[in-house]
Amino acid sequence: MNVLRIDSSPLKEASVSRGLLDVLQNKLESQGHEITSKRDLYYDDKVTLGSQDRYMGYFTPADQQSDAQKAAVAGSNELALEFAAAEAYIIAAPMYNFGVTAGLKTYIDLISRAGISFNYLPEGPVGLLKDKKAYVVVSTGGTPVGSEVDFVTPYLRTFLGFLGITDVTFIAADLSNVNREESIAKATQQIEAL
């Protein structure tokens, strides 16, 4: 199974979610899966906020796009096609202010592409990325995962489901500001049990 790794914390060595994604990557590789692509959303020059040219380019047939529109959608095209080609995903999703990080939200906007990750049908949108697996490491400082103020897990479950990805495993590393070691140990146990 070819796996896309997605890191979405601006922190490096101090990041709980990055460290746990390393553990998860090692676990999957030990089972014969291969990490074929990696995206570090805070350090990838393709993960940028949009513009009018990008937005209009999304809804303009490729052969009718202006040069500015073609340039504006090029990075999104690459990211969306890479995401669609993966068979599985490992996603580090630290909670910032009760939601996903700005980098992850921007990436989501870039890979949500009609004709690549979903299609519009008369009855509504349908996801094109069926029969894929996603593992999401959710780290929080002081918010319990699954609480009424956890907007990360329901949002990502809804978004991934929109794309057709319904086999999603969440790994909680919550309350790390309360007890970092216990939070990491609990999440590591979840990973080792996979």
pLDDT tens-digit profile of 158-181?
A: 999 999 999 999 999 999 999 999
pLDDT tens-digit profile of 96-143?
A: 999 999 999 999 999 999 999 999 999 999 999 999 999 999 999 999
Q: Does the annotation flag 56 for ligand binding?
A: no
Mean of pLDDT values over 12-39: 97
Spatial distance between the Cα atoms of 192 and 194, rounded to a whole number of angstroms: 6
CATH number at residue 13: 3.40.50.360
pLDDT for 71 equals 96
Q: Does the annotation flag 141 for ligand binding?
A: yes
Structure-token pair, residue 188? 């590591």
Q: Which domain holds residue 142?
A: 2-192
Q: Does the annotation flag 139 for ligand binding?
A: yes
Q: Does the annotation flag 77 for ligand binding?
A: no
Spatial distance between the Cα atoms of 90 and 141, rounded to a whole number of angstroms: 20
Q: Does the annotation flag 55 for ligand binding?
A: no
Q: Does the annotation flag 126 for ligand binding?
A: no
Q: Does the annotation flag 96 for ligand binding?
A: yes
What phi and psi, each to the nearest 5 degrees, are found at residue 150? Answer: -90, 105
What phi and psi, each to the nearest 5 degrees, are found at residue 37? Answer: -145, 150
Which residue type sits at 131? D
Q: Does the annotation flag 183 for ligand binding?
A: no
Spatial distance between the Cα atoms of 72 and 49, rounded to a whole number of angstroms: 10
pLDDT for 146 equals 95
Torsion sign (Cα): 21, 22, 27, 28? positive
Structure-token pair, residue 156? 């990502």
Cβ–Cβ < 8 Å for 135, 24:
yes
Q: Does the annotation flag 98 for ligand binding?
A: yes
- Going by pLDDT thresholds of 50, 70 and 90, the confidence category of residue 94 is very high
Question: Can you give the pTM of this predicted structure?
Answer: 0.96
Cβ–Cβ < 8 Å for 71, 124:
no
Spatial distance between the Cα atoms of 14 and 56, rounded to a whole number of angstroms: 39
What does pLDDT average to over the chain?
A: 97
- Going by pLDDT thresholds of 50, 70 and 90, the confidence category of residue 4 is very high
State how many domains the chain has.
Answer: 1
Mean of pLDDT values over 63-85: 97
Give every CB contact of residue 67 below 8 A, 6+ residues apart in sequence. none
Q: Name the one residue in this structure whose structure tokens are 């601006």.
A: 10
